[in-house]
Amino acid sequence: MDFAYTPAQQELKARAAAYAELLMDYELESEAADGPLPRDTVKKLTHAAMDAGVYGINMPTEWGGAGLTLLEQVIVEEEFGKVTNCLWDIPWRPSNVLAMASPEQRERYLLPILRGERFDAFATTEPDSGSDAGAIATTATPVDGGWLLDGEKWFVTCGDVADFLLVQANVLPDNESTLFFVEKDTPGVRISRTPRFMHSAVNGHPEFVFENVFVPTESVLGEVGQGFELTKDWFTDERLMIAARTVGLAERALQLARDWAVQRKQFGVPISDFQMIQAMLADCAVDIAVNRSYTHQVAWEADHGVDRKTLHAKASIAKLSASEAAGRVVDRCLQIFGGRGYDRSYPIERMYREVRVDRIWEGTSEIQRVIVANELIKRGTAFLDLPVA
């Protein structure tokens, strides 16, 4: 088993790192704006991502994407995770389920995304349906030529800048979970509120209301009744990317804390001479090394044909472990910085606020534990094994 990056993967990592450095130049501007950056800035950074080959990384080259394997996507997202203010949203990675679009849907929705002309947002969470996906109350009532959508969707990440939404709704009368393409300017679609959260993300997470929203027959992604499975595939992908980004965030935090500890003097010596500081640095290194290895392993297994149920559980392990580890790392690193770590002009403070949500969105830590426990109960410990060649 070869754990070394290929020359192409090393070069990809370097390109992603260089692009992440470019994004870092806009962190303080984004923090001050507490919202979208100017359109000209976003356009410039979008084209820079395209030039670097790190835009649309999860879509094939024949459609205009970067055509990366899942492991290569993890390599890129790990570098992006080092950037604060969720600026990694600018080098857009379309919802993976858009690969299931029909040729006509692909022309209308996916290809413009890959050209940087449109953006999508995935709308599944509701006021009474977060972890309990089965409690979704948004309905699609059949009418001539399509459906009428009614309901609410909350915490729609990047919904403020998206041009269209992928909305999960239950088709009546049998409550068949289905994904629909919904243009944001369709009559009956409105943003009711854009909450302000702990982190200052470059894009928002608005709440949407749908009132008698007509969507035509051709607006269904996949098939009627396939929505839950497609959403599950989307969650699996997102959880693995969160694991990768939190590893990257933790690594930047540790690098900053290590550099600070070496040069910061107290009692006449660098604080890196103190064993309690050394212990915190060492614990951070362990958290990062272990979670990077496992996240890479799961991505590699996915590229080599691991079955969907196993991948779903392993992605949950990766997301659970990496997000919680990153929280520990950033907490220690802020402590090493002392009062300066609490200053918003320092990246470590922004990381401290931002990493907290990684234990919540795309499935809480508690839900990841439920998924892993269910897999253990149903299939034993065999799913933890590496695949056989």
Three-class secondary structure of residue 123 per DSSP:
strand
- Tell the burial category of 160 from Cβ atoms under 10 Å away from its Cβ (0-12, 13-18, 19+): middle
Sign of CA dihedral 236, 239, 241, 247: negative
* 389 pLDDT higher than 80: no
- Given pLDDT bands bounded at 50, 70 and 90, which one contains residue 221? very high
Instruction: Please tell me the distance from the alpha carbon of residue 157 to that of residue 246, in angstroms, as a whole number.
Output: 18
**Can you tell me which residue has the tokens 């290194």?**
285
Stretch 228-255: mean pLDDT, rounded?
Answer: 97
Instruction: Please tell me the distance from the alpha carbon of residue 13 to that of residue 4, in angstroms, as a whole number.
Output: 13
Three-class secondary structure of residue 283 per DSSP:
helix
* 148 pLDDT higher than 90: yes
Q: Known catalytic residue: 107?
A: no
> What are the two backbone dihedrals, phi and then psi, of residue 91, each rounded to the nearest 5 degrees?
-75, 80
pLDDT in tens, 103-131: 999 999 999 999 999 999 999 999 998 88
The pLDDT value recorded for residue 212 is 98
DSSP annotation of 14 reads H
* 133 pLDDT higher than 80: no
Stretch 307-329: mean pLDDT, rounded?
Answer: 96
Q: For 167-204, b where at least 16 C-beta lie within 10 A, e where not — what string?
A: bbbbbeeeebbbbbbbebebeebeeeeeeeeebbbbbb
Q: For 59-71, b where at least 16 C-beta lie within 10 A, e where not — what string?
A: beeebbbbebbbb
Q: What is the CATH number of domain 120-225?
A: 2.40.110.10
Q: What is the CATH number of domain 228-384?
A: 1.20.140.10
- Given pLDDT bands bounded at 50, 70 and 90, which one contains residue 2? confident
* 150 pLDDT higher than 90: yes
Sign of CA dihedral 273, 276, 277, 279: positive
The pLDDT value recorded for residue 1 is 65
> What are the two backbone dihedrals, phi and then psi, of residue 308, each rounded to the nearest 5 degrees?
-65, -40
* 278 pLDDT higher than 90: yes
- Give the β-pairing of 220-221 and 176-183: antiparallel
The pLDDT value recorded for residue 116 is 95
Rounded to the nearest 10°, the torsion over CA 173, 178, 184, 190 is 50
- Given pLDDT bands bounded at 50, 70 and 90, which one contains residue 3? confident
pLDDT in tens, 334-383: 999 999 999 998 999 999 999 999 999 999 999 999 999 999 999 999 89
Sign of CA dihedral 103, 107, 109, 114: positive
Element (H, E) at 214: strand 207-216
- Which of 126, 152, 354, 362 is catalytic? The answer is 362
The pLDDT value recorded for residue 131 is 80
Stretch 85-110: mean pLDDT, rounded?
Answer: 97
Q: What residues are paired with 177 via a beta bridge?
A: 170
Domain ranges of the chain: 7-93, 120-225, 228-384
* 388 pLDDT higher than 80: no
- Tell the burial category of 109 from Cβ atoms under 10 Å away from its Cβ (0-12, 13-18, 19+): buried
The pLDDT value recorded for residue 195 is 93
Question: Using an 8 Å Cβ cutoff, are 148 and 170 in contact?
Answer: no
Instruction: Please tell me the distance from the alpha carbon of residue 111 to that of residue 99, in angstroms, as a whole number.
Output: 10
Q: What is the pLDDT of the chain when averaged over all its residues? A: 96
Please tell me the total number of residues recorded for the chain in this structure: 389
pLDDT in tens, 7-61: 999 999 999 999 999 999 999 999 999 888 999 999 999 999 999 999 999 999 9
Domain topology for 7-93? Butyryl-Coa Dehydrogenase, subunit A; domain 1 (1.10.540)
Closest by Cα among 71, 47, 46, 66 to 56:
66
